[in-house]
Amino acid sequence: MSTQAPTFTQPLQSVVALEGSAATFEAQVSGNPVPEVSWFCDGQVLTAATLPSAQISFSDGRAVLMIPAVTAAHSGRFSVRATNGAGQATSTAEMLVTVETAPPNFIQRLQSMTVRQGSQVRLDVRVTGIPTPVVKFYREGAEIQSSADFQIVQDGDLYSLLIAEAFPEDSGTYSVSASNSSGRTASTAELLVQGEEVAVPAKKTKTFVSTSQISQTCQDRVEKRMEASFESTAMMEMQIEDGDLPHKAPPRVPPKPTSKSPTPPTRVSKVAATRHQSPSPVRPVKAPTHTPHR
């Protein structure tokens, strides 16, 4: 398998944390071979000595930095770096620690929508709060876990649920909840995925003709022909009686040739004349001789 430089498929997101509360940075990274991960705060490498209470983990491409109880000293710029033999990549975000609190508030709520089967669906919300709210998506009351088919992404205060390819069975009630130490809020919408319409061909109607109908049709045709023949004959008789029919002139016969030169006899006539002039000879027949009896 070919090598691949590290890539952050889900980068770090900035965090606003209430002093004394827990704060978490999380990122998703891919690469081959599996990259090594390092964390930094304001350019300094984070170790057990510099940040004793921090919990750092990396498993299945998921890099996590969690600080159980933040203080004002933790405010700053946090980075995570992934490195392997093919290269490296870095993702950075800010942490702000405050003593003020604010419950979650949707500045953009879920919107109901109707889509066609096979379409890509994106359900967005924008939510604020101090500390940064924890946002979760649900369908028919069941929490949705991020996967290849249903991906949950965050970009600042924008949280999105992406459905790569929607099917009718994905229709239903979707909701998103946002909660922090100061409160909890939710937003709900309906998703309708319409299936593909299959065109049903129109049925062809057949016309059946019985034998009696065929016989009757033939008989009608014969009667019409006979009537037409009778009418034609009657018309001709009427025209003859009224003298309307024109008389045809007899065909012209070409005149006989008037040449004075005698027509030479044909070969057939010569043969006939010859046969009349020389009659056929008759063979003499001898009379039977009488033989005496002894």
Where do the domains of the chain lie? 4-98, 102-194
pTM of structure: 0.54
Residue 212: pLDDT over 50: yes
Report how far Cα 127 is from the mean position of its chain's Cα atoms: 39
Residue 163: pLDDT over 50: yes
Whether 4-98 shares its CATH topology with 102-194 is answered: yes
CATH of domain 102-194: 2.60.40.10
Lowest model confidence (mean pLDDT) among 60-74, 77-91, 209-223, 268-282: 268-282
pLDDT band at 176 (very low <50, low <70, confident <90, very high): very high
Per-residue pLDDT, 202: 55
Query: What is d(CA 131, CA 14) in angstroms, rounded to the nearest whole number?
Result: 11
pLDDT band at 233 (very low <50, low <70, confident <90, very high): low
CATH class held by domain 4-98: mainly beta
**Mean pLDDT confidence for 140-147:** 91
Dihedral Cα 56, 61, 62, 63, nearest 10 deg: 30
Residue 285: pLDDT over 50: no
Residue with the bigger pLDDT between 271 and 173: it is 173
**Mean pLDDT confidence for 140-154:** 91
**Mean pLDDT confidence for 173-197:** 92
Residue 193: pLDDT over 60: yes
Lowest model confidence (mean pLDDT) among 174-178, 200-204, 236-240, 265-269: 265-269
Residue with the bigger pLDDT between 65 and 217: it is 65
Report how far Cα 222 is from the mean position of its chain's Cα atoms: 57
Per-residue pLDDT, 51: 85
Per-residue pLDDT, 271: 39
Is the alpha carbon torsion for 130, 17, 66, 161 positive or negative?
positive
Dihedral Cα 58, 145, 164, 104, nearest 10 deg: -100
